[in-house]
């Protein structure tokens, strides 16, 4: 007799019960019975069995039916309805007989195989769970629901062939399930599979593989329903299969490492980790014992495995809290502290690939787990300065990928500031990514910043300034910065008509900027150097003349000019030495020879065009080039357009600035240029003041570079002059007067409206009653309009002008005065009369206004000024020589007198008059610079200015320290202005030049910085002689890094801009002049070894800025050549010069050894400047000087020791890395030797 199999967890047999029985009697299947009859009988039996309760049934009466149901003729019947009905009846039998199944083990195996076959039928069969529209679908659902609720499926685990049946069921269900399947069916399927896993003593490997395969990315995409079913099964059996899952991945990783083919190995490892990451997204608890495995892999020697482990754990730690079963922020990291600590340690992994991957994984951690920021923040800060370029790029891309809220609240500002430093990185890729990331953040935050939201302002407002300040690094390029500004900081409006919002954004950027930011922004807007024709205009003209190579006349000249301008243009667009892509693109553009493109570019270069026209031209240029040229040409010509046009500030900017200035404080506060009519402005009084400052700054820059931008706005400018002051429109008067004055100087013929008498009278009112600056620009306009261009420049004593009759007779008649100048001349005459009469009694700002007006008149109409020069200059000098005790400063306490500097806005009227006196004298001397009477005015002026430069005042006047500083700076700038004139520069002696040069080392930072900025400006525009190019290098000891950065930035840009011949003349050959200047330094004591050694820092600074392998030998030649001549000043100065000559030679040797440069004999010859040097009197003296050592022996020994150390390290051979490290070590020793106390 067959032995029955018991349900798992069953408790033995039961007694016979007397209860419900089947109404069906007899044999169920007889030969010849039809399927319909059989099905009808089975349905009746199924119905009755379904209604029977387990405790109210006669089990003995059911045993016969159990045997009949297991007959092969029924289970293998060809009719689908019969089979599923048999299955439902068998399922009910298992329910009613539980826990003791009334079947043998063999029968049970057949039954469950029968069940599995029925339940896993595919849709192709037209039956089963996959066909909800089928006639027997309810029976299939009844079967699977019975297995789920009764748990009879657990019997499978006790049967032979259990593993195969489990595999078939798991595989079948996973293939069967679909998105359209009923949720109830899916629940039952998941429950059946979970019961099998829970009941199995050991989960078959094949079954586990079926489950985990559904976590692969490919499977998730191919059958998301199977993936979801797997998730439900795994969640239900999480604790049961944790160890099996861990074993599976341990074996998978071990097997992968046994693979000899590295590609296959990496593929298998990647597949395993992909499954782990997917499991973590859905059932993180399943990985309880897998995470320690990944932690172990973090420290393996294999880089590929560490990469995978870092990525996998990084994703797990950064998973959304909502996806991790309701876990909170940082839950995974808290659950696995050891793994978290180990993963954090990979931030310092020896492989840059691993470190970069670690950084990439921080995105979700920063986004969803702010509680982990305390651990991640310091490590991320360190990675911004990682030694490897890839890691620094990864940091920038990480920040670039963050959403706004995360960047605002989830990233420390310190990280963003360190990222801003990467805008100065040595590597172009890092710089570009850093600027792009920061620019994108600012663009996202702009609306909040504009609305004065405190958090956004604090976190992001500084970004434009930092990006622009990156140009202080010699590695960054203006074109790269301009590209980021255009894309993120000052993007063009989608609607070109929306110029107001665009202008407001410009003002916001200027609001946070400093002077350097403003200068760079103006330069990138092409409002910095107004020399016409510009390089871009010259290029377009050359293209037209080149005519695609078809030239009618002067072919060689035209071709040569075209090639030269093309090279200069390519270099201006960022072409690196040795490269030719940009040049090739420019040549390809010229080859097109399309007149329409030429006209579009010329229109874009016209300062009178508005934003709408500029953008329209740009769009058409790109469209035309895109259809006829390569992408590279389009990109290059887009850069060319930006460098040729006015991309950020143009004519459209002017009208909105003037409108804002005319509105007054109340109306401006209410509208804030009315950018968004729906938004309530939050602008306060300080906002309006800031707007005025920045608006005036922009208008001032336009006036000094492209005043023709104002020409279309002249009616509006005149309207500003007549606007009533009751609405606060006085803020528009000064910039309007400044703009009109600039137009008067640049395009006097366009002043028809200004020359009307009512306008002239109104302008004159500003001289008489306006502020100091209003008086200045009003007087400038009138002086320009009144000047008949005679420029008589009579023979004049400095303070005693001759009579008008002698003035005219000394020069001759001059050109006739134009009729339209009469009104202006009469007005100027009246103004001069008033100034001469009232200046002595004027006080405060009125006195400043009068002197301002006089200064402008002497500059622009000097012949008219001379009539009243004696009286005016006498009064001005009387004020300058007035003791300070009698010139009380308004609202100044004792604490002010203790300062050594005050800002521009703090300057009181009395100091302003003293400063303007220097300007007045300077402009008067400049007015006669090109005449035979130049010395008459210039020499007394130079004596006066030199006194102020040395003493800080015009005599012993008790001047406060801060006032002396201001006067020294103004005096130094005035001398620079005089030096711009060749004839006047000759009057500046070597001693006066040295005094001027050492202003760079003034005790006051404001003096040093202000002088350096003006000096750099004049040098950049090549307005000064060669000796002035030596002055900037005296900042070597400046305690403020800002001044040294300013010089480096100037030198770097100047070298790039200058042709080779000019670079040689103005920088490299001036080395002799620089050493001569040091020889006259008041702190240089050649007998003091420590002083001499310190002076090597000046030479080092000079060499670091200018030396190359090509010019090093020339510097050495110049240094040695100084011992063959003498200083024209004195013998003592000559000995200082010889000492510095020897010091320079050793410094050059040291520099060459440190850089591994070969110091060869320079083949050329060079004469020394005869204005500061003289030849030695005889050969004997020459020999004596040459053989004598002037450098102290101690200094010579120290420097020679350093050179020997460097030379030994560099010549030792080995790899490039070894040489680099050796140089670094040697340089450390240099510092200890050359800077020892």
The more confidently predicted of residues 74 and 892 is 74
Q: How far apart are CA 459 and CA 442, in angstroms?
A: 9
What residues have CB less than 8 Å from 958, skipping those under 6 apart?
Answer: 883, 884, 885
How confident is the model at residue 393, as a pLDDT?
A: 96
How confident is the model at residue 817, as a pLDDT?
A: 46
The arithmetic mean of pLDDT across residues 473-480, rounded, is: 84
Question: Does the pLDDT of residue 166 top 60, yes or no?
Answer: yes
Model confidence at 327, in pLDDT bands (50, 70, 90)?
A: low
The more confidently predicted of residues 680 and 607 is 607
How confident is the model at residue 7, as a pLDDT?
A: 43
Confirm if 918 and 967 have CB atoms less than 8 A apart.
yes
Question: Does the pLDDT of residue 704 top 80, yes or no?
Answer: yes
Same domain (yes/no): 1079, 1172: yes
Place of tokens 């000097």: 862
How confident is the model at residue 893, as a pLDDT?
A: 45
The full length of the chain comes to: 1237
627 assigned to some structural domain: yes
Q: 1103-1106 long-range CB contacts below 8 Å, 24 or more apart?
A: 1103/1147, 1103/1148, 1103/1151, 1104/1151, 1105/1033, 1105/1047, 1105/1048, 1105/1051, 1105/1052, 1106/1051, 1106/1055, 1106/1067, 1106/1068
Q: How far apart are CA 1172 and CA 565, in angstroms?
A: 37
Structure letter (DSSP) for residue 348 = G
Confirm if 979 and 934 have CB atoms less than 8 A apart.
no
Question: Does the pLDDT of residue 8 top 50, yes or no?
Answer: no
How confident is the model at residue 153, as a pLDDT?
A: 87
Same domain (yes/no): 546, 628: yes
The more confidently predicted of residues 725 and 588 is 588
Place of tokens 């954090």: 344
396 assigned to some structural domain: yes
Structure letter (DSSP) for residue 1065 = I
How confident is the model at residue 801, as a pLDDT?
A: 35
Which pLDDT tens digit goes with each residue over 1155-1188?
888 888 888 888 899 888 999 888 888 888 888 8
How confident is the model at residue 566, as a pLDDT?
A: 92
How confident is the model at residue 262, as a pLDDT?
A: 76
Helix (H) or strand (E) holding 84: helix 80-97
How confident is the model at residue 448, as a pLDDT?
A: 93
The boundaries of the domain holding residue 1142 are 1069-1234
Looking at 197-201, 775-779, 916-920, which range is the least confident one? 197-201
Same domain (yes/no): 1124, 1183: yes
Q: How far apart are CA 881 and CA 955, in angstroms?
A: 7
Confirm if 468 and 517 have CB atoms less than 8 A apart.
yes
The runs of H, that is alpha helices, within 1082-1158 are 1089-1106, 1112-1121, 1131-1155
93 assigned to some structural domain: no
The arithmetic mean of pLDDT across residues 2-23, rounded, is: 48
Which pLDDT tens digit goes with each residue over 1083-1104?
888 888 888 888 889 999 999 9
Model confidence at 730, in pLDDT bands (50, 70, 90)?
A: low
Question: Does the pLDDT of residue 375 top 80, yes or no?
Answer: yes
Collapsing DSSP to helix, strand or coil, 983 comes out as helix
Question: Does the pLDDT of residue 918 top 60, yes or no?
Answer: yes
Q: How far apart are CA 994 and CA 988, in angstroms?
A: 10
**Considering the chain, what percentage of its residues have pLDDT values greater than 90?**
35
Rounded to a whole number of angstroms, the distance between the first and last alpha carbons of the chain is 110
How confident is the model at residue 892, as a pLDDT?
A: 47
Q: How far apart are CA 161 and CA 144, in angstroms?
A: 21
Q: How far apart are CA 1189 and CA 1195, in angstroms?
A: 11
695 assigned to some structural domain: no
Question: Does the pLDDT of residue 9 top 70, yes or no?
Answer: no
The more confidently predicted of residues 26 and 165 is 165
How confident is the model at residue 682, as a pLDDT?
A: 44
Same domain (yes/no): 548, 483: no
Model confidence at 664, in pLDDT bands (50, 70, 90)?
A: low
Phi-psi bin for 65: left (phi > 0), alpha (psi -120 to 50), beta?
alpha
Question: Does the pLDDT of residue 243 top 80, yes or no?
Answer: yes
- Integer-rounded Cα Rg, in Å, for the chain is 45
Same domain (yes/no): 1125, 1188: yes
The arithmetic mean of pLDDT across residues 635-660, rounded, is: 91
The residue from 587, 613, 644 where one domain ends is 644
Confirm if 926 and 934 have CB atoms less than 8 A apart.
no
Axis crossing angle, helix 730-746 with helix 651-671, rounded to the nearest 10: 180
Same domain (yes/no): 570, 459: no
Same domain (yes/no): 444, 583: no
261 assigned to some structural domain: no
The residue from 644, 678, 704 where one domain ends is 644
Same domain (yes/no): 394, 481: yes
Q: How far apart are CA 1016 and CA 1019, in angstroms?
A: 5
Structure letter (DSSP) for residue 1081 = -
Which pLDDT tens digit goes with each residue over 838-879?
888 888 899 999 999 999 999 998 888 888 888 888 888 888
The more confidently predicted of residues 379 and 127 is 379
How confident is the model at residue 871, as a pLDDT?
A: 86
Counting the structural domains of the chain, the total is 3
The arithmetic mean of pLDDT across residues 508-532, rounded, is: 85
Question: Does the pLDDT of residue 778 top 70, yes or no?
Answer: yes
Q: How high does pLDDT run on average in the chain?
A: 84
Helix (H) or strand (E) holding 1127: strand 1125-1127
CA-based nearest residue to 438, from 413, 409, 475, 455: 413
Question: Does the pLDDT of residue 961 top 50, yes or no?
Answer: yes
Q: How far apart are CA 378 and CA 411, in angstroms?
A: 11
Looking at 407-416, 894-903, 1127-1136, 1199-1208, which range is the least confident one? 894-903
Which pLDDT tens digit goes with each residue over 556-581?
888 999 999 999 899 888 887 778 89
733 assigned to some structural domain: no
Same domain (yes/no): 1183, 1099: yes
Confirm if 1073 and 1035 have CB atoms less than 8 A apart.
no
Same domain (yes/no): 1138, 1192: yes
Neighbours of 784 (CB within 10 A): 24
Question: Does the pLDDT of residue 655 top 50, yes or no?
Answer: yes
Q: What is the pTM of this model?
A: 0.74
Dihedral angle, C-alpha 566, 570, 576, 577, nearest 10 °:
10
Confirm if 27 and 68 have CB atoms less than 8 A apart.
yes
Collapsing DSSP to helix, strand or coil, 6 comes out as strand
Question: Does the pLDDT of residue 436 top 50, yes or no?
Answer: yes
1123 assigned to some structural domain: yes
How confident is the model at residue 1221, as a pLDDT?
A: 33
How confident is the model at residue 322, as a pLDDT?
A: 65
Produce one character per residue of 982-1000: b if its CB has 16 or more CB atoms within 10 Å, e if not: eebbebbebebbbbbbbbb
Neighbours of 1189 (CB within 10 A): 10
Same domain (yes/no): 477, 540: no
12 assigned to some structural domain: no
Question: Does the pLDDT of residue 758 top 70, yes or no?
Answer: yes
Looking at 81-85, 735-739, 1226-1230, which range is the least confident one? 1226-1230
The residue from 628, 644, 660 where one domain ends is 644
Question: Does the pLDDT of residue 140 top 70, yes or no?
Answer: yes
How confident is the model at residue 1192, as a pLDDT?
A: 85
Same domain (yes/no): 466, 611: no
The arithmetic mean of pLDDT across residues 998-1013, rounded, is: 94
The arithmetic mean of pLDDT across residues 498-523, rounded, is: 88
Which pLDDT tens digit goes with each residue over 1120-1148?
999 899 988 777 788 889 999 989 999 99
The arithmetic mean of pLDDT across residues 99-112, rounded, is: 87
What residues have CB less than 8 Å from 710, skipping those under 6 apart?
Answer: 654, 702, 703, 717, 739, 740, 742, 743
Question: Does the pLDDT of residue 1009 top 90, yes or no?
Answer: yes
Count Cβ atoms within 10 A of the Cβ of residue 1041 and give its class: 0-12 exposed, 13-18 middle, 19 or more buried: exposed
Structure letter (DSSP) for residue 834 = H
Q: How far apart are CA 683 and CA 508, in angstroms?
A: 12
The arithmetic mean of pLDDT across residues 468-495, rounded, is: 89
How confident is the model at residue 728, as a pLDDT?
A: 45
């Amino acid at each position: 007799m067959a032995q029955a199999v018991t349900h798992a967890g069953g408790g033995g047999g039961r007694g016979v019960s007397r209860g419900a029985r089947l109404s069906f009697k007899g044999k169920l299947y007889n030969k010849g019975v039809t399927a319909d009859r059989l099905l009808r009988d089975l349905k009746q039996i199924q119905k009755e069995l379904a209604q029977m309760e387990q405790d109210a049934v006669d089990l003995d009466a059911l045993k016969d039916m159990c045997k009949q149901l297991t007959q092969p003729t029924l289970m293998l019947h060809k009719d689908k309805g019969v089979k599923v009905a048999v299955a439902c009846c068998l399922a009910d039998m298992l329910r009613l007989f539980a826990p003791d199944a009334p079947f043998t083990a063999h029968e049970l195996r057949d039954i469950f195989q029968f069940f599995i076959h029925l339940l896993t039928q595919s849709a192709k069969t037209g039956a089963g769970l996959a066909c909800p529209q089928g006639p027997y679908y309810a029976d299939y659902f009844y079967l699977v629901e019975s297995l789920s609720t009764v748990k009879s499926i657990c019997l499978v685990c006790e049967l032979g062939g259990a593993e195969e049946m489990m595999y078939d069921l798991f595989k079948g269900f996973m293939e069967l399930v679909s998105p359209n399947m009923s949720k109830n069916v899916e629940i039952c399927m998941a429950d059946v599979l979970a019961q099998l896993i829970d009941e199995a003593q050991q989960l078959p490997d094949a079954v586990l593989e079926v489950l985990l395969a559904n976590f692969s990315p490919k499977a998730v995409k191919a059958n998301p329903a199977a993936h979801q079913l797997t998730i439900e099964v795994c969640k239900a059996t999480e604790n049961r299969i944790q160890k099996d899952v861990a074993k599976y991945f341990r074996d998978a990783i071990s097997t992968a490492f046994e693979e000899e083919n590295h590609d296959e190995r990496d593929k298998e490892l990647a597949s395993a980790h992909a499954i782990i990451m997917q499991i973590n997204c859905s059932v993180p608890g399943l990985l309880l014992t897998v995470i320690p495995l990944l932690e172990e892999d973090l420290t393996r020697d294999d880089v590929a495995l560490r990469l995978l482990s870092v990525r996998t754990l990084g994703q797990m730690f950064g998973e959304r809290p909502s996806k991790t079963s309701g876990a909170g922020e940082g839950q995974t990291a808290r659950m696995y502290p050891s793994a978290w600590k180990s993963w954090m340690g990979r931030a310092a992994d020896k492989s840059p690939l691993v470190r970069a991957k670690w950084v990439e994984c921080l995105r979700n951690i920063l986004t969803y787990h702010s509680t982990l920021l305390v651990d991640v923040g310091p490590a991320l800060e360190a990675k911004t300065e990682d030694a490897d370029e890839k890691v620094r790029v990864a940091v920038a891309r990480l920040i670039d990928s963050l959403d706004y809220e995360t960047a605002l609240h989830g990233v420390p500002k310190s990280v963003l500031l360190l990222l801003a430093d990467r805008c100065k990185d040595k590597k172009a890729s890092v710089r570009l990514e850093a600027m792009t990331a920061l620019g994108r953040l600012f663009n996202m935050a702009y609306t909040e910043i504009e609305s004065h939201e405190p958090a956004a302002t604090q976190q992001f407002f500084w970004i434009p300034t930092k990006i622009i300040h990156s140009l202080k690094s010699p590695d960054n390029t203006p074109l790269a910065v301009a590209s980021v500004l255009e894309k993120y900081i000052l993007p063009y409006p989608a609607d070109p008509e929306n110029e107001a919002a665009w202008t407001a954004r410009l003002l916001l950027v200027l609001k946070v900027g400093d002077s350097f930011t403003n200068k760079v922004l103006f330069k990138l807007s092409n409002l910095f150097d107004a020399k016409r024709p510009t390089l871009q205009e010259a290029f377009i003209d050359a293209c037209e003349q080149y005519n695609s190579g078809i030239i009618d006349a002067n072919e060689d000249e035209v071709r040569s000019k075209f090639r030269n301008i093309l090279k200069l243009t390519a270099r201006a667009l960022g072409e690196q030495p040795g490269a030719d892509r940009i040049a090739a693109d420019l040549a390809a553009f010229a080859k097109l020879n399309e007149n329409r493109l030429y006209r579009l570019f010329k229109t874009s270069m016209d300062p009178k065009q508005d934003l709408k026209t500029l953008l329209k031209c740009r769009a058409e240029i790109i469209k035309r080039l895109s259809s006829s040229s390569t992408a590279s040409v389009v990109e290059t010509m887009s850069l060319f357009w930006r460098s040729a046009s006015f991309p950020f500030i143009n004519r459209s900017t002017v009208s909105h600035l003037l409108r804002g200035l005319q509105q007054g404080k109340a109306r401006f506060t209410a509208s804030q240029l009315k950018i968004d009519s729906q938004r309530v402005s939050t602008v306060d009084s300080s906002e309006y003041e800031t707007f005025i400052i920045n608006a005036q700054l922009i208008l001032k820059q336009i006036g000094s570079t492209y005043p023709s931008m104002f020409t279309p706005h002249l009616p509006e400018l005149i309207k500003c002059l007549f606007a009533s002051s009751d609405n606060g429109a006085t803020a528009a008067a000064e910039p309007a007067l400044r703009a009109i004055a600039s137009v008067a100087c640049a395009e006097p013929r366009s002043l028809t409206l200004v020359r009307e008498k009512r306008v002239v009278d109104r302008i004159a009112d500003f001289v008489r009653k306006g502020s100091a600056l209003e008086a200045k620009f009003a007087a400038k306009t009138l002086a320009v309009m009144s000047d008949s261009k005679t420029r008589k420049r009579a023979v004049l004593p400095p303070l005693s002008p001759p009579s008008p009759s002698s003035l005219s007779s000394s020069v001759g008649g001059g050109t006739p005065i134009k009729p339209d100048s009469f009104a202006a001349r009469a007005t100027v005459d009246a103004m001069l009369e008033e100034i001469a009469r009232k200046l002595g009694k004027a006080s405060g700002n009125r006195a400043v206004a009068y002197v301002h007006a006089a200064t402008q008149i002497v500059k622009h109409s000097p012949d008219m000024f001379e009539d009243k020069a004696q009286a005016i200059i006498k009064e001005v000098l009387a004020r300058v020589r007035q003791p300070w005790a009698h010139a009380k400063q308004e609202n100044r306490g004792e604490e002010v007198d203790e300062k050594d500097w005050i800002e521009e806005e703090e300057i009181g009227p009395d100091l302003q008059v003293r400063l303007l006196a220097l300007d007045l004298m300077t402009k008067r001397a400049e007015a006669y610079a090109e005449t035979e009477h130049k010395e008459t005015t210039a020499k007394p002026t130079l004596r006066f200015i030199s006194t102020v430069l040395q003493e800080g005042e015009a005599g012993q006047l008790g001047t406060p320290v801060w006032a002396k500083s201001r006067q020294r700076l103004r005096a130094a700038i005035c001398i620079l202005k005089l030096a711009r004139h060749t004839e006047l520069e000759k009057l500046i002696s070597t001693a006066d030049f040295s005094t001027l040069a050492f202003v760079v080392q003034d005790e006051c930072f404001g003096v040093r910085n202000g002088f350096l900025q003006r000096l750099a400006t004049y040098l950049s525009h090549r307005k000064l002689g060669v000796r002035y190019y030596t002055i900037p290098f005296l900042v070597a000891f400046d305690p403020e890094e800002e001044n040294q950065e300013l010089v480096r930035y100037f030198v770097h840009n100047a070298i790039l801009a200058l042709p080779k011949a000019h670079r040689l003349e103005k920088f490299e050959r001036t080395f002799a002049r620089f050493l001569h200047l040091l020889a006259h330094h008041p702190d240089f004591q050649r007998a003091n070894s420590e002083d001499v050694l310190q002076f090597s820092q000046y030479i080092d600074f000079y060499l670091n800025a200018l030396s190359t392998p090509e010019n090093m030998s020339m510097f050495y030649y110049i240094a040695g050549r100084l011992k063959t001549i003498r200083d024209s000043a004195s013998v003592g100065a000559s000995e200082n010069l010889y000492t510095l000559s020897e010091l320079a030679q050793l410094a050059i040797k040291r520099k060459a050894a440190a850089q591994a440069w070969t110091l060869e004999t320079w083949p050329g010859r060079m004469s020394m400047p005869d204005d500061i040097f003289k030849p030695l009197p005889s050969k004997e003296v020459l020999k004596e000087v040459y053989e004598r050592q002037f450098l102290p022996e101690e200094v010579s020994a120290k420097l020679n020791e350093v050179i020997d150390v460097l030379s030994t390290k560099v010549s030792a051979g080995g790899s490039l890395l070894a040489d680099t490290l050796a140089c670094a070590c040697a340089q450390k020793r240099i510092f200890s030797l050359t800077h020892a106390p």
